[in-house]
Amino acid sequence: MSKPVTAPVTADIPRQPVDWLPVALPLIVAVAAFPLVGNPWTWLTLTIAGLAMGMIIFTVSSGLMLVFGLMDVLNFGHGAFIALGAYVGLAVLIPLTPWVEATSVLLNSAVFALALCAGVIVAGVVGFVFDRLLIQPVYGNHLKQILMTTGGLIIVEQLIRAIWGAETVSFNLPASLRGSWLLGEAAVERYRIVALGIGSAVFLGLLLVLTRTRIGLMIRAGVENREMLEAMGYRTRHLFVGVFVVGAMLAGLGGVMWGLYLQNFTASIGAQINVLIFIVIIIGGLGSTTGCLIGALLVGLTSNYVGFAAPKIALFSNILLMLLILLWRPQGLYRVVDR
């Protein structure tokens, strides 16, 4: 808007050198997995699948990363918003089956967008209530937070079972998202590309908000030192509620995507993915968006490679990954919060 008043400063403020090693990690894993997989086309398929899965996991984890980093709240109920997202997506897609099955790309996209929006809104509203009822009363007490939010997860999961039934539910992707493109000999599922796109958009959006806006500045300040932010006269309480609701919305968005990715799931989908999210958060380091993304990509990639090359140890691959990262960097990939 206005020109800078002062002359441009030639010497920049001293910055911390960017730590590139964690960023290169997914690449290293991908390259290292190549000899294990053998066939380059299979490798490409697996890599894209892993990246897509990683992006969805990032979308669902990013909210918890913010909540944990900024508010220091251990939310074991984050999976509830994901489960809610998946079921709301289902509730939108099933009645609109004609749109889902239509050959028109426009109708397909419309119904897909509608499901995503519905998931986001419902998760946001429930997130707001969740924060009021379960998080605020036990603020600043880790032990009670874990207990309260675990209780919350159980309640939401049981309500989902009461509403939608306990059986495995399944639904179809919108017609034009089904099937795959052939890239050489590698089959790339369309939906995975869409998931990659949405995940990247969420990442870029978060990064932009966090680094380029005033709110983002406050959130980052709060993550690093909450007391100082409060001492400067900002009401962190409002910020917290906002961040929690946005975190729940992101979980809802990711929940719809995760549900469509799995296609068959039960109400325990939330509790199941909770484990993955925690691993991602621990790997990434508290409060670091980039760390969270890298952690999610690593989890996605290793799950796919190991699932292909050595299905027997696939169960423990994520825990093994976490173990290795923590041996290397006990505070996670990026250390933002010093608590």
Q: Which residues contact other proteins by CB under 8 A?
A: 74, 76, 134, 137-138, 142-144, 146-148, 150-152, 154-155, 158-159, 161-162, 166, 271-272, 274-275, 278-279, 281-282, 315-316, 318-319, 322-323, 326, 330-331
Q: Which is nearer to other proteins, 157 or 189 (CB)?
A: 157
Contact 277, 299 (CB under 8 A): no
The CB-of-153 to other proteins minimum distance in angstroms stands at: 8
Token pair of 249 as six digits: 């919305």
Residue 69 CB, nearest approach to other proteins (Å): 12
Do 124 and 245 meet the contact criterion of CB atoms below 8 Å apart? Answer: yes
Contact between 53 and 261 under an 8 Å Cβ cutoff? The reply is yes
CA 224 to chain centre: 21
Query: Beta-strand (E) ranges in the chain?
Result: 169-170, 180-183, 186-189, 264-265
Tell me the β-bridge partners of 264: 170
CB of 271 to other proteins, least distance (A): 7
Nearest to other proteins of 47, 75 (CB atom): 75
Q: Are 258 and 269 in contact (CB under 8 A)?
A: yes
164 or 234, CB closer to other proteins?
A: 164
Reading the block at residue 248, the tokens are 């729940």
Q: Which is nearer to other proteins, 212 or 339 (CB)?
A: 339
Neighbouring C-beta atoms of residue 310, cutoff 10 Å: 11
Which element (helix H / strand E) includes 165? Answer: none
Specify the residue, 117 or 309, whose C-beta has the smaller distance to other proteins: 309
Q: Which is nearer to other proteins, 108 or 145 (CB)?
A: 145
Nearest-approach distance from CB 280 to other proteins, in angstroms: 10
Least distance to other proteins, CB of residue 149, Å: 9
Minimum distance of other proteins from residue 137's CB (angstroms): 6
Integer Cα distance of 172 and 193 in angstroms? 17
Query: Least Å distance between CB 318 and other proteins?
Result: 7
Nearest to other proteins of 154, 187 (CB atom): 154
Q: Is 244 exposed, middle or buried (0-12, 13-18, 19+ CB in 10 A)?
A: buried
Find all residues with CB under 8 Å of 34, minimum gap 6, and list them.
Answer: 40, 43
